[in-house]
Amino acid sequence: MNDIETFKYVDIAIDTRSDMVDDLFTYAMEGDAARVGAKVLAPFAGSRSRAGYVVAVRDSLPEELEGRSVKKIISIDEDGSLNPDDVSVARWMRRRYFCRLIDALACFAPPVAPTKRRAPRTLPAGIDPAAADAIGEIAGNSPASDAAPTPAAGASPPALTDEQSAAFAELKGGIGGGEYAAYLVHGVTGSGKTELYMRAAAEAVDRGRKVIVLTPEISLTPQLAEQFTDRFGAARVAVTHSKRSKGERYSEWIRIKRGEADIAIGARSAVFAPFENVGLIIVDEEHETTYKSDMTPKYDAIEVALKRAARARAVCVLGSATPSVVSMYRARSGVYRLLELKERVGGAPMPSLNVVDMREELKQGNRSIFSAALHDSITSNLAAGRRTILFLNRRGYSTFISCRDCGYVTRCPECGISMVYHRERHRAECHFCGKYLPLPKTCPECGGENIRHFGVGTEKVEALTRAAFPGAKTARLDLDSSARKGSAEKILGDFGAGKTDILIGTQMVAKGLDYENISPVGIIAADVSLNIPDFRAAERTFQLITQASGRAGRGAGFGEVYVQTYSPEHYAVAAAAASDYDGFYATEILVRRTLSYPPYSDLYRVTALADSESAAFNGAASLLGALTAAVGESDRSNILGPHREFARRRGREIAYSLNMKVMPASRAAYEHVLAAMKKKINTDKAAGYRIIIEVNPFS
């Protein structure tokens, strides 16, 4: 390294998933190639080499390294390199979510390249193979099929309503301003939010900037992608999500990175699409909990979208018919700009909501899952050629398996939570870790043979629906029925084409589906989400009732909705039945403020995990003492626990957690203390336990 002027010094995050190595390492690199985001191969740990990312470039060595020998970078991977804004967002993610820097950087990295390639296909001129795969998937065909249709670009956009025009004028001004801006679009179901998204996307693309569109569920991606490809053409739209093959994901990632596509559409992870010049990020159905990752790093895609838009001086649009309480609070506080669409396109009326008190049904001797009113409505609407959606946010056949003699409940040996009976596979399954067991023939506790399954899931609803309406063509859409690639698209395609009369499903059928001639929508048990042990239970109930109801009465038809509940007087149910978002929000925000829940705080969960009960508990107790000493006794009332967790994903580790409400004024102090604790404990083999930290968990 004689000619020192030709080199710069770079700080590298090494690609290894170890808290011991969650630090930066300094190397020498040729000056022309040294840039933040470069993916490099560097010598590490003796004769070995590892990949890493440049996160900082400097002209001289830091003082602590002066006089020491510095190794040189071996090579650069241009295709795998990131841009500086991505690195900046990754460094923010490390602080916000208490994750390793390399885990945050890996979110932006390309999927693993496939080892085998398919034989080349002959495609029409100007159509990228990956784009053709996307269209094939939308149509429900295998990506390998040569018959994938190619929609023509430039489908004529419909005229905007007055409300849409006013909202678009706001978005157009924001996109043209070249500065960061965040908007919340609160539009009732059927008000034309998707058209607004496409107009905004066209505005950004016309200005030479790129667009990311996020959906909360993979099953919703094909319908949205089809609308965008109809408008913009397949070659300009990339579709990316985890259910595509490795080859498809890699091809789309490269196509996005090289600027061959203008718009990327996908579920949560699409927020990391490798565009160089993002001008617009759209988050559809922003209220959905699926935007929060439950895998390392445990990021919130909405927060990442906002941070990425801010770095790129772009516009971020959050849209929903039922905005989260946190988002609406921010809009009304001026953090977001609020745009409202209060009328359905074409003047179509909102569906008629009927709340059915299932206590009264029981008094009348009706023990069916169908109230008399819902049964009659399905019967008459089937005769009129209309389609029905039945919604229950609980999959499986029965929700638990129990001995009627001694009360024993079949629980997962790994997680400790009750297992669900799936009749199609004739086994008990854990919906947390995926473990399954054969159904017990006798009780493991008392030896009795009176083993029964209780409760209702979508699988049982399907069976009961077939029995109640034998002439109807029935289908089910949930995580089980859509496990195979293309199955969700096939189920929805058949329903959209009128081949299915009754569609039964979980929240997968409550979001974003836009089909005409649907009435009624039946919400089988609105109390399922109301009675979960979560401070968001009322919010989730209001959202699910409203979203499921919104599938009815689209187009020229008039829709009916039946909300079956044992709690008709609850404010969330009553507000949803009256289509009164403002009324619900007014009550809910008061509850949140009184109890210091988000948006008035962040919730942190710190979990100590160990191989023994005593080590996990003592670890959590030690954390409590250290936290109290660090943040002050006055904050002690905001730290709850330790309490035992009975559901963990990793084998038989014992877990004890602390839950804390972190007020805005204390957030920096908590971030500093918890990051230091995590590093100290997780790099100390003698500690006997490890910790994980989650910010605003949804489970």
Is 433 within a domain?
no
Average pLDDT over residues 122-134: 37
- CA atoms of 301 and 287, how far apart (whole Å): 12
- CA atoms of 17 and 14, how far apart (whole Å): 9
Amino acid at site 227: Q
- Is 194 within 8 Å of 229 (Cβ atoms)? no
377 and 503, same domain (yes or no): yes
pLDDT score of 433 more than 80: no
- CA atoms of 549 and 571, how far apart (whole Å): 17
559 and 685, same domain (yes or no): no
pLDDT score of 287 more than 90: yes
**pLDDT in the model for residue 210:** 98
Q: Could you write out the three-class secondary structure of 289-335?
A: HHHECCCCCCCEHHHHHHHHHHHHCCEEEEEECCCCHHHHHHHHCCC
pLDDT score of 163 more than 70: yes
383 and 466, same domain (yes or no): yes
CATH number at residue 159: 3.40.50.300
**pLDDT in the model for residue 147:** 30
- CA atoms of 90 and 99, how far apart (whole Å): 10
Is 419 within a domain?
no
**Which of the four pLDDT bands, split at 50, 70 and 90, describes residue 650?**
low
Q: How far from 138 is each of 121, 142, 227, CA to CA, in Å?
A: 19, 10, 10
Which residue in the block uniquely carries the two structure tokens 């978002």? 581
79 and 161, same domain (yes or no): no
pLDDT score of 144 more than 60: no
Is 122 within a domain?
no
390 and 509, same domain (yes or no): yes
**pLDDT in the model for residue 648:** 54
- CA atoms of 217 and 246, how far apart (whole Å): 19
Is 120 within a domain?
no
- CA atoms of 261 and 210, how far apart (whole Å): 8
Q: How far from 47 is each of 11, 172, 187, CA to CA, in Å?
A: 20, 55, 59
Amino acid at site 175: I
**pLDDT in the model for residue 130:** 38
Average pLDDT over residues 337-358: 90
CATH number at residue 662: 3.30.70
Is 412 within a domain?
no
Is 59 within a domain?
yes
Q: Which of 345, 361, 382 is the last residue of a domain?
A: 345
Average pLDDT over residues 277-298: 95
How many CB atoms neighbour CB 349 within 10 A? 12
500 and 563, same domain (yes or no): yes
E strands, 325-407, are 337-341, 352-357, 387-391, 400-403
Average pLDDT over residues 207-226: 91
- Is 524 within 8 Å of 410 (Cβ atoms)? no
Q: Residue 143: is the preceding peptide bond cis (ω within 30°)?
A: no
- CA atoms of 191 and 194, how far apart (whole Å): 9
DSSP alpha helix (H) spans, 550-691: 571-577, 581-595, 613-631, 667-682
Among the residue ranges 234-243, 284-293, 553-562, the one predicted with the least confidence is 553-562
Strands 263-266, 278-284: parallel, antiparallel or unpaired by DSSP?
Answer: unpaired
Apex CA 582: angle with CA 578 and CA 585, to 5°?
110
Is 287 within a domain?
yes
Average pLDDT over residues 375-397: 90
How confident is the prediction for the chain on average, in pLDDT? 87
Domain coverage including residue 384:
348-395+457-594
**pLDDT in the model for residue 189:** 86
pLDDT score of 194 more than 60: yes
Q: Is pTM beyond 0.75 here? A: yes
- CA atoms of 498 and 441, how far apart (whole Å): 42
501 and 617, same domain (yes or no): no
- CA atoms of 442 and 135, how far apart (whole Å): 51
Query: What is the strand order of the sheet 436-438 is part of?
Result: 420-422, 427-429, 436-438
Count of residues for the chain?
699
Number of domains in the chain: 4
Name the DSSP letter for residue 634: G
Q: Comparing 240 with 113, which gets the higher pLDDT?
A: 240
**Which of the four pLDDT bands, split at 50, 70 and 90, describes residue 349?**
confident
Amino acid at site 372: A
Average pLDDT over residues 142-162: 57
Apex CA 99: angle with CA 96 and CA 105, to 5°?
95
- Is 181 within 8 Å of 156 (Cβ atoms)? no
67 and 21, same domain (yes or no): yes
Tokens matching residue 82: 């990131």
Is 452 within a domain?
no
Average pLDDT over residues 392-417: 81
**pLDDT in the model for residue 137:** 36
**pLDDT in the model for residue 28:** 94
Closest CA to 213 of 161, 279, 165: 279
**pLDDT in the model for residue 651:** 59
Q: How far from 595 is each of 332, 591, 632, 641, CA to CA, in Å?
A: 20, 6, 20, 17
The CB-side HSE value for 93 (13 A sphere, CA atoms) comes to: 31
How many CB atoms neighbour CB 21 within 10 A? 17
Amino acid at site 228: F
pLDDT score of 125 more than 50: no
Average pLDDT over residues 406-414: 82
Q: What is the pLDDT of residues 612-638, one digit of tens each?
A: 999 999 999 999 999 988 888 778 888
Q: What is the pLDDT of residues 303-347, one digit of tens each?
A: 999 999 999 999 999 999 999 999 999 999 999 999 999 998 887
pLDDT score of 134 more than 60: no
Tokens matching residue 44: 């590490």
367 and 330, same domain (yes or no): no
Among the residue ranges 53-62, 203-212, 531-540, 678-687, the one predicted with the least confidence is 531-540
- H-helix or E-strand containing 654? strand 654-662
Q: What is the pLDDT of residues 504-527, one digit of tens each?
A: 988 787 765 677 788 899 999 888
- Is 552 within 8 Å of 520 (Cβ atoms)? yes
Which residue in the block uniquely carries the two structure tokens 């959905």? 288
**Which of the four pLDDT bands, split at 50, 70 and 90, describes residue 119?**
very low
